[in-house]
């Protein structure tokens, strides 16, 4: 049985970015409405299998099925009967305890526990209770990109009866674990998979059931070597077009008309080093558009945007392929991280390549201009408080954000939190913001709210079906805009200090693990 809590088992109204709301606590709206907007329930079949599930869970599901195991992704609301008899309960998540950005930012800024964490704790607590009472032999295995967070919360390993933590690309390992479980062998408590043991292309299975928002992986790894990112250590692998097509066919067969192609840097698919090449990218986009009416990239680098356009007019050519009758904009996630060439050279020396790090701010601005002209919306991150950051670095980032004002985009600051402090209950005290940081946060808030209102009303949530979501999100953004209008950097600093105090006070109480006994009884009664 493979599952995850509702915040990840949802199509987010077929809008990937709406899913980001689950990384914050419910504000302005009550949690029920917040969840309905950000993570509505997904359709399930008679056996509790969701019509759409996270891509990572689908990969694990198919790896086990191909090896002959009876394995399936199960919706969190349908776990009851399975928990009492399953041999193994596998959970995959990309931010178990809300330690990753942006969850950690919202947690710190509001002083309230993000909804993804609340839901995960509730989900794990419910499963552990059933295991404790009826199925003590069931093995609980946790994995996914944020599996490392369990090492920082050993109390939850105990509380939720977790047997094994798996870090890394697990398609091969999960089969060995499943064999060990069925053979009654003792499981390791922790396994991490070295980059050189990552599955080769031919060892990566293709999904057999539909993924959330039609996500299909086109590449693994990244050649840019940024110091704050571990994806860069994995071997670079291009998924061949025939494998991509198999997955597109599965998703299209499930009725998906709009999907995301996933890579750390989509424009490097088939690239010559870090120089994008037209032929593979055009073939890829032509293939995707044969199956999906609308498409988006998960991530791309801003340097690749500039190189693609300067060298081959490729952004123009690709946008002509993507946009048309069924789609009038697209978007992706990207990293600016800093506006300081000095800091860029120190922590992400190849981020600007093939251009020198000294030109990084100009590359960012040029990329934003290119994207704006082609109706492609970047959602960009900044990292605040990187090791070695000076006040001058922050000023350069502020100057860059100022220059990005005319371009349709989202810009979100993220706090650098050293991993070592996450084991401390008062980890949030390690985030010490200056007035310049607060000014930067205020600029990005105003920038993002202004453009989010434009994006929602112009492109993102059009149509009668999405009218209630559009109304609620517009209402929410209106409130945030009003709040941001009167805000000063000093007020931000005061607000964050107050939030830290609230967090400290809540930590002093019992951990906020919810034990919904009434719900648990209901689940068990139905099972």
Q: Using CB under 8 A as the criterion, which residues of the chain lie in contact with other proteins when the complex forms? A: 148, 151-152, 154-155, 157-158, 168, 186, 188-197, 230, 233, 419-420, 423
- For the CB of residue 194, give the shortest distance to other proteins in the complex, in Å: 4
Structure tokens at 184: 């009654």
Are the beta carbons of 53 and 9 closer than 8 angstroms? yes
Residue placing its CB nearer to other proteins in the complex, 192 or 488: 192
Q: What strands lie across the sheet with 258-262, from one edge to the other?
A: 216-217, 258-262, 294-297
Residue placing its CB nearer to other proteins in the complex, 46 or 186: 186
Residue placing its CB nearer to other proteins in the complex, 91 or 191: 191
Residue placing its CB nearer to other proteins in the complex, 189 or 465: 189
| CA–CA gap between residue 306 and residue 367 (Å, rounded) | 5
- For the CB of residue 507, give the shortest distance to other proteins in the complex, in Å: 19
Residue placing its CB nearer to other proteins in the complex, 187 or 524: 187
Measure CA of the first residue to CA of the last residue in the chain; give whole Å: 16
Q: What are phi and psi of 167, to 5 degrees?
A: -115, 135
- For the CB of residue 154, give the shortest distance to other proteins in the complex, in Å: 4
Cα-based angle 319, 322, 326 (whole degrees, multiple of 5): 130
Residue placing its CB nearer to other proteins in the complex, 188 or 324: 188
Residue placing its CB nearer to other proteins in the complex, 165 or 523: 165
| CA–CA gap between residue 474 and residue 198 (Å, rounded) | 43
| CA–CA gap between residue 514 and residue 153 (Å, rounded) | 17
Q: What are phi and psi of 431, to 5 degrees?
A: -85, 105
Angstrom CA distances, 339 to 360, 376, 393, stand at 7, 21, 7
| CA–CA gap between residue 382 and residue 235 (Å, rounded) | 26
- For the CB of residue 114, give the shortest distance to other proteins in the complex, in Å: 23
Are the beta carbons of 56 and 92 closer than 8 angstroms? yes
Quick check: helix, strand or coil at residue 22? Answer: helix
- For the CB of residue 329, give the shortest distance to other proteins in the complex, in Å: 37
| CA–CA gap between residue 443 and residue 197 (Å, rounded) | 44
Residue placing its CB nearer to other proteins in the complex, 113 or 163: 163
- For the CB of residue 33, give the shortest distance to other proteins in the complex, in Å: 38
Structure tokens at 17: 């970015």
- For the CB of residue 423, give the shortest distance to other proteins in the complex, in Å: 8
- For the CB of residue 317, give the shortest distance to other proteins in the complex, in Å: 37
- HEC secondary structure over 497-523: HHHHHHHHHHHHCCCCCCCCHHHHHHH
How many whole angstroms from its chain centre is CA 432? 25
- For the CB of residue 155, give the shortest distance to other proteins in the complex, in Å: 8
Residue placing its CB nearer to other proteins in the complex, 158 or 358: 158
Residue placing its CB nearer to other proteins in the complex, 221 or 270: 221
Are the beta carbons of 331 and 17 closer than 8 angstroms? yes
- For the CB of residue 161, give the shortest distance to other proteins in the complex, in Å: 11
């Amino acid at each position: 049985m493979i599952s995850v809590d509702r915040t990840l088992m949802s199509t987010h109204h077929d809008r990937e970015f709406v899913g980001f709301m689950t990384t914050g606590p419910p504000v302005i709206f009550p949690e029920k409405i917040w969840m309905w907007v950000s993570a509505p329930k997904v359709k399930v079949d008679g056996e509790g299998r969701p019509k759409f599930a996270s891509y990572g869970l689908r990969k694990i599901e198919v790896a086990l099925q191909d090896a002959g195991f009876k394995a399936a992704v199960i919706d969190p609301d349908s776990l009851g009967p399975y928990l009492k008899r399953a041999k193994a309960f596998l959970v995959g998540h990309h931010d178990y305890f809300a330690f990753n950005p942006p969850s950690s930012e919202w947690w710190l800024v509001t002083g309230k526990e993000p909804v993804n964490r609340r839901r995960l704790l509730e989900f794990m607590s419910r499963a552990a209770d059933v295991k404790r009472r009826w199925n003590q032999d069931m093995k609980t295995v946790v994995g996914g990109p944020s599996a490392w967070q369990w090492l920082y919360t050993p109390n939850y390993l105990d509380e939720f009866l977790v047997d094994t933590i798996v870090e890394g690309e697990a398609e091969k390992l999960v089969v060995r674990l499943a064999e060990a479980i069925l053979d009654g062998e003792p499981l390791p408590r922790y396994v991490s998979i070295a980059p050189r043991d990552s599955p080769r292309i031919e060892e990566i299975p293709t999904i057999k059931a539909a993924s959330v928002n039609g996500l299909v992986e086109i590449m693994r790894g990244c050649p840019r070597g940024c110091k704050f990112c571990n994806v860069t250590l994995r071997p670079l692998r291009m998924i061949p077009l025939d494998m991509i097509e198999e997955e597109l066919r599965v998703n299209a067969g499930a009725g998906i008309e709009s999907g995301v192609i996933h890579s750390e840097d989509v424009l490097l698919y088939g690239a010559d080093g870090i120089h994008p090449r037209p032929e593979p990218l055009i073939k890829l986009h032509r293939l995707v558009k044969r199956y999906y009416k609308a498409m988006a990239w998960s991530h791309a680098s801003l340097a690749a945007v500039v190189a693609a356009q300067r060298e081959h007019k490729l952004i123009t050519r690709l946008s002509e392929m993507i946009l048309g009758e069924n789609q009038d904009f697209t978007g992706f996630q990207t990293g600016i991280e800093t506006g300081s060439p000095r800091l860029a050279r120190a922590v992400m020396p190849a981020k600007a390549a093939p251009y020198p790090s000294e030109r990084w701010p100009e590359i960012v601005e040029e990329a934003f201009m290119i994207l704006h002209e082609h109706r492609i919306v970047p959602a960009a991150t900044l990292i605040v408080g990187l090791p070695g950051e000076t006040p001058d670095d922050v000023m350069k980032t502020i100057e860059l954000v100022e220059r990005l004002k005319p371009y349709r985009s989202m810009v979100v600051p993220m706090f650098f939190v050293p991993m070592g402090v996450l084991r401390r209950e008062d980890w949030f005290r390690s985030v010490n913001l200056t007035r310049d940081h607060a000014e930067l946060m205020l600029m990005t808030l105003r920038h993002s709210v202004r453009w989010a209102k434009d994006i929602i009303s112009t492109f993102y949530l059009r149509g009668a079906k999405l009218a209630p979501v559009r109304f609620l999100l517009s209402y929410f953004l209106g409130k945030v805009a009003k709040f941001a209008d009167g805000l000063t950097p000093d007020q931000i600093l005061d607000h964050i200090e107050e939030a830290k105090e609230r967090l400290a006070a809540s930590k002093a109480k019992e951990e906020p693990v919810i034990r919904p006994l009434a719900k648990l009884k209901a689940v068990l009664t139905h099972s």
